[in-house]
Amino acid sequence: MGASGSYFRHIKDAIVTIFDGMAVTASHLVRKPYTIQYPDRIAVRVQDTLPFRYRGILDVDLEICTGCLACDRACPIDCIAMAIEKNAQTREIVISQFDIDIAKCMYCGLCSEPCPTGAIHHTTEFEGADYSLESLIRRFITEPVVAYKAKKGPEPDPEVAGLLERGMKYVDEWAQPGSDKPPATAAASAPKPAPAAATPRAPIPAAAAPKPMAAAPRPAVPAPPKPAPIPATAAATPAAPAASASPGGSADASATAPAVSPSPEDTTDAPAAAPAKSDNGGDPPADA
């Protein structure tokens, strides 16, 4: 009986399990496929869905590059080749070469860390395929340009204000990890002063000091479109295009705008102070 019982139990098990298995696969036939048809049949470019801090291919905003060579020195594999000349009369720095070998770059981000203005930064671009190794060397300078030098005054040069805003945001978020996240988590991590205080870099105190103040009264409920004070809108206007153009701009804008708002003088001084220091010393602390 036992043998014949297991014989018919096997038949029953086979029928029941195949029946259920076929039902499972049939239910999959009416489900939406998961496939993302990268690169050509997607609604939004993948680059636009990546976070602001994504370490993609390096880019340089030459308009705000101070020629301090900090990135060149920081690069552990020497994929950045820079050459600068100092004009004795005008005391201007002329950058004559700025090459980044993307083929060598390992995307560690150590070059964008010491940059005082955030001129060298990672983008969200990652499609670097090309036909030759030579074409992977990004030559940012075709003819020598004068390095950026901050103007004395309450406001930065309107031409570079957008770039500076973006660059400083990049630098700030390096110093304060988590400020890229939505406001609720940012408020939780912001009161920690340790990373900001540990970096004796010029722009950091200016940008980081108001942050705990702005973070303290922040409501627990995340409310990104909060009514900003009037001076804040005035100060943030040049930055608006850059902020909205950057990915995840809406979440970042709420984090940076209040930080700028309480003391517009400080923030405008901050970029001005940075080149001044690097101009004299030429050697900001390499690593934080």
Partner 1 sequence: MQKWIDSLIARGDFGPHPSHDLVYAIAIAVACALVLFLVAVPFASVVTWVERRVWARIQSRIGPNRVGPNGFLQWLADGIKHVCKEDVIPEEADARLFKLAPYLVVLAFILPWAVMPFSSALILADLNIGILYMTAITALTVVGVLMAGWASNNKWSLIGGIRSAAQIISYEIPAGLSIFPVVLMTGTLSMQGIIRAQGWEPNHWFMFANPFCFVATIILFVSSLAENNRTPFDLPEAESELVAGFATEYSSMRYLFFFMAEWGNMFIAAAIIATLFLGGWQFPRVSASAVVMNALQFITFNLKVLILVFVSMWIRGTLPRVRIDQMMSLCWKYFVPISFVDLIGTAVWVAIWPDGNPIAGWVMLAFGGAVAVLFAWRVTYFTRLARMELYFHPTI
Q: What separation in angstroms does the CA of 129 have from each of 52, 57, 62, 101, 187? A: 22, 11, 24, 13, 40
| Cβ proximity of 251 and 183 under 8 Å | yes
Q: Rounded to an integer, what distance in angstroms lies between the CA atom of residue 117 and that of residue 60?
A: 11
- Is 24 or 43 the residue whose CB approaches partner 1 more closely? 24
- Is 24 or 220 the residue whose CB approaches partner 1 more closely? 24
Q: Rounded to an integer, what distance in angstroms lies between the CA atom of residue 86 and that of residue 68?
A: 11
By C-alpha distance, which of 94, 124, 119, 93 is closest to 107? 124
Token reading at 97: 């070469």
Helix H or strand E segment including 122? strand 120-122
User: Considering only residues 97-116, where is the footprint of partner 1 by CB under 8 A?
Assistant: none
Distance in Å, CB of 36 to partner 1, minimum: 10
- Is 22 or 146 the residue whose CB approaches partner 1 more closely? 22
Please tell me whether residue 280 binds partner 1 under the rule CB under 8 A: no
- Is 10 or 86 the residue whose CB approaches partner 1 more closely? 10
User: Considering only residues 168-227, where is the footprint of partner 1 by CB under 8 A?
Assistant: none
Written as one string, the DSSP assignment of 80-95 is EEEEEEE-TTT--EEE
Distance in Å, CB of 283 to partner 1, minimum: 55
Distance in Å, CB of 40 to partner 1, minimum: 10
Q: Rounded to an integer, what distance in angstroms lies between the CA atom of residue 118 and that of residue 120?
A: 5
Q: Rounded to an integer, what distance in angstroms lies between the CA atom of residue 226 and that of residue 203?
A: 26
Question: CB under 8 A: which stretch of 4-12, 83-91, 241-249, 272-280 binds partner 1?
Answer: 4-12
Distance in Å, CB of 18 to partner 1, minimum: 7
- Is 31 or 91 the residue whose CB approaches partner 1 more closely? 31
Distance in Å, CB of 125 to partner 1, minimum: 25
Q: Rounded to an integer, what distance in angstroms lies between the CA atom of residue 47 and that of residue 122?
A: 12
User: Considering only residues 5-44, where is the footprint of partner 1 by CB under 8 A?
Assistant: 7, 10-11, 18-35, 37
The contact set with partner 1 (CB under 8 A) reads 7, 10-11, 18-35, 37
